[in-house]
Amino acid sequence: MAALPSAHTSVDLAMPISGMHCAACVARVEKALAGVAGVLKAEVLLTENRAQLRVEPGWSAVALMAALRKVGYDIPLTQASLHLSGLHDAADALRAHEALARVPGVVLVQVNLGAATAALQALPSTAPGALLQAARAAGFGAALQTQTDAGSALAQEAARLRRDVLLAWALTLPLLLPMLVQPFGLHLMLPGAWQALLAAGVQFGPGRRFYRAAWAGLRAGSPGMDVLIALGSSAAFGLSAWLLGRGAGAMDLFFESGAAILSFVLLGRWLEARAKRATGAALRGLQELAPAQAELWRDGQWQLHPLAELKPGDRVRVRPGGRIPCDGRLTEGRSHINEAHLNGEPMPLARAPGDLLRAGGLNLDGVIELRATQTAAASSLAQLVRLIESAQASKAPIQGLADRVAARFVPAVMLLALLTLAGWVLAGQGGRGLLAAVAVLVVACPCALGLATPTAVVVGIGQAARRGLLVRDAGALEQLAGIQRMAFDKTGTLTRGEPELAHIEPLADLNRLQVQALAAALAQGSSHPLSQALRQAQGDLPTPEAKDLRTLAGLGLQGQLGELRLHLGSSRYLAELGLPTGAWESAAQAQATQGYSVSWLAQTQPEPRLLGLLAFGDRARTEARSALDALRAQGLRCSLLSGDRPETAMALARGLGFAEADDVHGGLLPQDKLSAIHAWKARGEAVAMVGDGINDAPALAAADVGIALGADGQGTALAAESATLTLLANDLRRIPEAVALARRTLLTIRMNLFWAFGFNALMLPLAMAGRLPPMAASAAMAASSLMVLGNALWLRRWRYKA
């Protein structure tokens, strides 16, 4: 984020403010805004939750937001996404970022080189036309992108490239034909004028895109690979034209070299565009889950409306085979809904009235109605798309080296080309030196270097999304690949988080069902998790109706059932009632060693006595053991950090294969878990923490990688706030899968960077020595980029093997 200047004169700006409730709020907001540099005047309208500002050059949208947030208010930002054509390397991405960041009102810009898009957050007053104008002024083609047109924009760019490729090769092949037939003893050399005409058609027809991009880069002070291509092809064309003007023969001209350079590069660009479409397939698949229209109840009838017109509270109907257009609560009908895009599971879920439905789900078999709770733009599907876009646009730390090299590469190559030319001129071979310099300019284009990391990141994060794994950024993938220890919370993470009645031991002349029925009678008036477990265990069995039900905080329950005065609670509660449990403590301890919590059922009227012991347990997730074993097989150490009693935590740990050396800890507060994370990191270990993202938030944030379980509907918020990875399905087997994917993605990035650096190290000396003709240099450069892209795309075929 940076300060973003407006126009050269003061302008009026309308800005929505959230969080205002009274006149005191108005005064506080006006004071905060007036104190921001560049704000000349600030008036706040409480009735419209809006501020009217007059700002001068130098005002900053980021400063406005910071000032408001400091006093407890905020500015709702709008989301925008642009498709950018002509985006080829890191220098292009930097130029696009800087151009868009200068638009007044833009708060955040993320340029996704792999998908050729820019995602922006801006003040609502920011005009889309200003964004388009800024991108085009920087030398890029730009179009506003909606959820449905991202793929078509890339397809249109590929079609334009295909047209240019066909035209370029149609004009270039006649120039290359003499070289192709010469080994067979045929001589079909075209006259010099014809060679010049065909080469000019390539140079100033399909090749004009390189001149435009080169000029834009030079004007912005960040020249990219297009400068090298334009210089190299122009040098070959210019030398040939000069020789032709001096009366050189057709055999002494090099028009085919300049044309071939452009033709090979265009072919590489077209194949690159097709590959980029493939890298973004997972994201576009998510975007296309949102239907273009929704069937809404308006004016007493069902009508089709554009999705943008849907509002919270609208009645929405979805027919069998249709996609859920928004988040909402099911009100009418029953059906099975496939939510594989959110939970990664292909099995459909049965949904009934009252259940929450998420945007993008596929309605399989019934006509249903729902009440919208969010607009389409604020739905869980839209949030998921934005988070994946943000992650794909981010940079892995390993990309820093490539970025630093690429930023200095073009000037260095231009200098190297001049030195090559000078060396050959001093050797008395200026013509050969010019061809060698052209080859240097072409073969050194940093295409492969710029594509090495972004393409692998886009594919890797897309692969994760298809598996129900939400990755916050590229750095998270790199860090996850290097994790040495995986620490787990217990309740709600390794266990189901829902206590169940595990054991009943009658202590009087009652059987188990009678003890359960009496306890369930007391549980009818309580929302405590143990009470819910009792009601669930009782199910459809008849439950006596108790009266005078009372909940005693921290102790237990009591109530009246006929002549019985019943109590259900802890040992401490019974001791206060004068009913010691000492005679049965051995039985209670036996349950505790199995990880169970114990409650006692007793009566105080007509005579005091104990009636039964009830043990409650939180069962381990069915997949927990297999997930832990898979992580151990990957070489990770697994640890348990629990807030539950130490004996309960140890009982669960034994059942899940934890050893003494695995650091099993119970009775921990959130700050204790945080201390454990810091202690492991201080020993030099790379640590990941897995939790439910609520009371584990400090540990999730402190770990090198925080992994949150998010199938409770809070997944997207957890991913943005505390965790670097979120499991959209609460399936722990996705964690070893995520580790394997991260390692494979990092290996792909390293292979790409090795090839990109190695290619230039190998080819540059050959070009400087005159052993690599310009035409061969252009083909080699294109092949290098395609090798990097192909290696990244191979990641799409990766499958996890446990």
- Residue owning tokens 């802890």: 570
| Closest to 485 (Cα-Cα) out of 633, 636, 366 | 636
Whether 473 sits among the annotated catalytic residues: the reply is no
Q: What's the rounded Cα separation, in Å, for the pair 161 and 163? A: 5
Q: What's the rounded Cα separation, in Å, for the pair 479 and 745? A: 11
Q: What's the rounded Cα separation, in Å, for the pair 275 and 786? A: 9
Q: What's the rounded Cα separation, in Å, for the pair 441 and 417? A: 6
* Structure tokens that stand for 700 in this block: 């999730």
Which are the contacts of 505, defined by CB distance < 8 A and separation ≥ 6?
587, 612, 613, 614, 615
* Structure tokens that stand for 576 in this block: 């206060």
**In which region does residue 329 sit, left (phi positive, over 0), alpha (psi from -120 to 50) or beta (all else)?**
beta
Number of helices (H) and strands (E) in the chain: give both, helices first. Answer: 27, 29
**b/e for 613-626, b at 16 or more Cβ within 10 A?**
bbbbbbbbbeebee
- Residue owning tokens 């890029």: 140
Pair 78, 122: CB distance under 8 Å: yes
* Structure tokens that stand for 299 in this block: 């004016």
Pair 209, 161: CB distance under 8 Å: no
Pair 257, 435: CB distance under 8 Å: yes
| Closest to 653 (Cα-Cα) out of 624, 622, 630 | 624
* Structure tokens that stand for 704 in this block: 């090198």
* Structure tokens that stand for 326 in this block: 């928004």
φ, ψ for residue 621, nearest 5 deg: -60, 145
Pair 104, 236: CB distance under 8 Å: no
Q: What's the rounded Cα separation, in Å, for the pair 524 and 541? A: 14
Instruction: Please spell the DSSP secondary structure of 377-443, one letter per residue.
Output: GGSHHHHHHHHHHHHHHS--TTHHHHHHHHHHHHHHHHHHHHHHHHHHHHTT-HHHHHHHHHHHHHH
Q: Which of 489, 618, 692, 731 is catalytic?
A: 489
Q: What's the rounded Cα separation, in Å, for the pair 416 and 412? A: 6
| Beta strands at 362-363 and 335-338: parallel, antiparallel or unpaired | antiparallel
Name the burial class of residue 54, with classes exposed (0-12), middle (13-18) and buried (19+) by CB atoms within 10 angstroms of its CB.
middle
Q: What's the rounded Cα separation, in Å, for the pair 533 and 529? A: 6
* Structure tokens that stand for 625 in this block: 């053991």
Name the burial class of residue 152, with classes exposed (0-12), middle (13-18) and buried (19+) by CB atoms within 10 angstroms of its CB.
middle
* Structure tokens that stand for 14 in this block: 């309308």
Cite the active site residues: 489
